Chain A
Amino acid sequence: DAKTTQPPSMDCAEGRAANLPCNHSTISGNEYVYWYRQIHSQGPQYIIHGLKNNETNEMASLIITEDRKSSTLILPHATLRDTAVYYCIVRVDNYGQNFVFGPGTRLSVLP
């Protein structure tokens, strides 16, 4: 079972920041937080991941709370092409560990 809880859907205006929350209250100390997205009918696309520090790359920023029980994915300037289902996953990168996908958040970027 997925170890995360996400809102089923969110809307965001084009050009504004999209902030997608994720709760992972049972996260263990050695589990990473990963974010993927899936644009309609395509394969899931990796966005970003982190352990406890905030992370930023060319796609997004990941903010993890100090207690690590929740995180927020930030798309700084959402475009229509960011409309997708966003998945938050917690995972230990150990032998035999896989990526377990929950239902995710369906983000709609509106013009």
Chain B
Amino acid sequence: DAGVIQSPRHEVTEMGQEVTLRCKPISGHNSLFWYRQTMMRGLELLIYFNNNVPIDDSGMPEDRFSAKMPNASFSTLKIQPSEPRDSAVYFCASSFHGGNTEAFFGQGTRLTVV
């Protein structure tokens, strides 16, 4: 398996533009996590899906952020409109819920909003 795949790896956009980050989890995994990492706040969980259903979105900063998981092999995190304070590295992770299992992380998307 190629692991968790995120795209793009880097994104630079202007303030006010819409940004879509993509994630392909490991095949067979049924839990998916979106995290954001900044120097100031470290790694923060944004949202967590189980069997394609959002379970906990309490970490989503505000209505400008939305996440979807239309099927077991794809998820998106959208920011509209983007702001400079959204600049961060966004990580996607997946795991198999059903045992004491670990989560595997993608390589992240580095977002810069100018």
Which B residues have a C-beta under 8 Å from some C-beta of A? Answer: 4, 33, 35, 42-43, 45, 48, 50, 55-56, 89, 91, 93, 97, 99-108
The chain A residue with its CB closest to the CB of B101 is: A93
A99 touches B100 (CB 8 A): no
By secondary structure, the A interface counts as loop
By secondary structure, the B interface counts as strand
Among B91, B93, B100, the one with the most A-chain Cβ atoms within 10 Å of its Cβ is B100
In the complex, chain B residues whose CB is within 8 Å of the CB of A49: 100, 102
The 8 Å CB contact of B42, one of A41, A46, A98, A101, is A101
In the complex, chain B residues whose CB is within 8 Å of the CB of A45: 105
A95 touches B97 (CB 8 A): yes
User: Measured between alpha carbons, how far is A34 from B101 in the docked complex, in Å?
Assistant: 10
User: Measured between alpha carbons, how far is A102 from B43 in the docked complex, in Å?
Assistant: 8
Number of A positions contacting B (CB below 8 A)? 20
Query: Which 4 pairs, one residue from A and one from B, show the smallest C-beta to C-beta distance?
Result: A43-B105, A101-B43, A46-B102, A93-B100
8 A Cβ contacts from A70-102 to B: 87, 93, 95-96, 98-102
A43 touches B108 (CB 8 A): yes
